Amino acid sequence: MWKRILAIIALFYLFALLQNSFFVHYSLLGAVPDLVFVLFFGLVFVPIKNLRYFEIGGAYRIIFLAVCAGFFMDTFMYPYLGPSIISFLIIGFALRRVQLVLLNKDGRYPFLYFLVIFIISLLGYYMLLGLIANRLSPFKFLAFFPPKIIFCIIYDSIFATVFFYIYNAMYKINFNARQLRLFR
């Protein structure tokens, strides 16, 4: 377990450095991929078998991921420490709640749900960041929105897709049991 914890911390650190220094030169019309957010979202979204929301392993896992990801994000990307940590905490718990609501035995199109929830979470993250960094001023919730948000979403979605399929292939997780059947 400790190896996994250290590996996750190292991954967040590496992704923060890549986002801050390497992918700056591969910006898409000014949009730089949010690799730390992609990794955080992917690690929270991936279901843990037989692990319910209020179990210690579930909530504490989200807290650990949020603190880790938020700390590196704030250190390398933003002037203050804390807004990303709090934003990730809110996003993480909201995401798990959404997943519980969507819980069903049968389901289809798991990638589509992943992508839609990812985009909504990304927008929610930027809004929370703007609110928290500006002391909950309602007029500033768009302050951290990238100017070309659509390119940001597209760019981040590409990396999220790559993460989704790599993780799926590595651990052969069956997502079908946890998705709502919308298309019959």
Q: Which residues bind another protein (CB under 8 A)?
A: 17-18, 20-27, 29-32, 54, 59-60, 63, 67, 71, 75-82, 85-86, 89, 143-144, 146-148
Q: How far is the CB of 75 from another protein (least distance, A)?
A: 5
Q: How far is the CB of 31 from another protein (least distance, A)?
A: 7
Minimum CB distance to another protein smaller for 138 or for 147: 147
Q: How far is the CB of 125 from another protein (least distance, A)?
A: 12
Minimum CB distance to another protein smaller for 159 or for 164: 159
The length of the chain, given as a count of residues = 184
**DSSP-derived secondary structure for 98-134:** HHHHT--SS---HHHHHHHHHHHHHHHHHHHHHHHHT
Minimum CB distance to another protein smaller for 46 or for 77: 77
Cβ 15 vs Cβ 68: under 8 Å: no
Minimum CB distance to another protein smaller for 43 or for 152: 152
Q: How far is the CB of 63 from another protein (least distance, A)?
A: 6
Minimum CB distance to another protein smaller for 124 or for 146: 146
Minimum CB distance to another protein smaller for 36 or for 160: 36
**181 DSSP β-pair partners:** none
Q: How far is the CB of 102 from another protein (least distance, A)?
A: 22
Q: How far is the CB of 53 from another protein (least distance, A)?
A: 10
